[in-house]
A = this chain, B = another copy of it.
Amino acid sequence: MTDTAPRPTLEAVAARAGVSRATVSRVVNGGDGVRDALVERVRKAVDELGYVPNQAARSLVTRRHDAIAVVVAEPETRVFADPFFALQLRGISKELTAHDNQLVLLLTEGRDDHARVGRYLAGGHVDGALVFSLHLHDPLPELIQRAGVPTVFGGRPGWSGDRQGVVYVDSDNRGGARDAVRHLAGLGRTRIAHITGALDQTSAADRLDGYRDVMVDADPRLIAEADFTPAGGERAMRELLDRCPDVDAVFAANDLTASGALRVLRESGRRVPDDIAVIGFDDMLPVAEQTDPPLTTVRQDIEEMGRLMARLLLRELDRGTSHGGSGEATGDTPSSVVLPTTLVRRASA
């Protein structure tokens, strides 16, 4: 029952079609330079035998694997607490599938895993890597770069996003934050606070920068540090109410944080948005739509980010292949992309 039926080889197909192995290979790989009649005959033989190329044998000679590693650095359970990761993965998957590439998933947890991932990538098992590492001082990105594997990062890597040759895809965190704060200002709010995310992540730092762009000389007491969690949001909101009872708007670094803040506000008897307007970030649906009141927030197109990452990487790989080894790149090195965000108005602001 578990007896693996002996899978047909190129040889077998060749025999059946009455041609040579080489011809079958050509047909299987596109069929250029083979007469139509023969192509037909080979295709038929392939179908009849249910032939599927042996990827291992193919890789052995081509040195391509048609496989991409997706590395998720995940001390951050945050990644798992929201659909962010899954959506991005879906985008990546779609794009890779469309180009017949496999997705090899590597979840890392702690230091030892870094070494393992480094070894794996350096081992040349995959053609490229898509890396999510959202922390500032994460050694992983460097490690990976050193492994010499073509890589695209998800989110601006902490350690110098503009280092030569580093390609990443990110949301316009800073611009989105600006939009949010401007929206609050447009509502006539003047005491606009910010609850930050975990500031060792570039997204949090960028959102804070966006806030500061608009609130040029904001009262520093209007900024409370948190960590992207609801609990952090609660704590920060209490601090804020304590320090500045006259606060009339809050821009929270993400929806989870905002939900925590909302709870504290409700407890304190303030009405949202009448007494105080609240705005989040992410448009993480199960949260943003379920809060009371529903959350106004900044949406990023997460799936598109994933798709784009994959697209950039595949393009880079293609470049490497098609131009042979003929000297330096023929022009367009893919460069980083920052995707726009949009403000989603609900009831909280």
Q: List 30 A-B contacts (CB under 8 A).
A: A4-B63, A4-B124, A4-B148, A7-B124, A52-B119, A53-B123, A54-B60, A54-B124, A55-B125, A56-B59, A56-B65, A81-B285, A81-B286, A82-B286, A83-B83, A85-B86, A89-B105, A97-B113, A102-B104, A103-B104, A103-B106, A104-B104, A104-B105, A105-B105, A230-B286, A259-B290, A263-B290, A286-B287, A287-B287, A287-B290
| Copies of the protein in its oligomer | 2
Which chain B residues border A54 with CB–CB below 8 Å?
Answer: 60, 124
Is A216's beta carbon under 8 Å from chain B? no
By beta carbon, the residue of chain B nearest A256 is: B286
Residues A270-305 near B (CB distance < 8 A)? 285-287, 289-292
Q: Shortest CB–CB separation between residue A174 and chain B, in angstroms?
A: 26
> With a CB–CB cut-off of 8 A, which chain B residues contact A286?
81-82, 230, 256, 286-287
Nearest chain B CB to A70's CB is how many angstroms away? Answer: 8
Kindly state whether residue A11 has any CB partner on chain B within 8 Å. no
Is there a chain B Cβ closer than 8 Å to A32's Cβ?
no
Q: Interface size bucket, A side? A: 35 or more
Q: Are A320 and B2 in contact (CB under 8 A)?
A: yes
- A contact set with B: CB distance below 8 Å: 1-5, 7, 50, 52-57, 59-60, 63, 65, 67, 70, 74, 79-83, 85-87, 89-90, 93-94, 97, 102-107, 109, 113, 116, 119, 122-125, 148, 150, 165, 230, 256, 259, 263, 266, 285-287, 289-292, 320, 325
Query: Residue on B with the closest CB to A124?
Result: B7
Q: A56-B59, A81-B286, A82-B286 are in contact. List 20 more A-B contacts (CB 8 A).
A: A3-B325, A52-B124, A53-B123, A55-B56, A56-B60, A60-B60, A80-B90, A81-B83, A93-B105, A93-B106, A93-B107, A94-B109, A97-B116, A104-B104, A230-B289, A230-B290, A259-B290, A263-B290, A287-B287, A292-B292
What's the minimum C-beta distance from A339 to chain B, rounded to whole angstroms?
Answer: 19
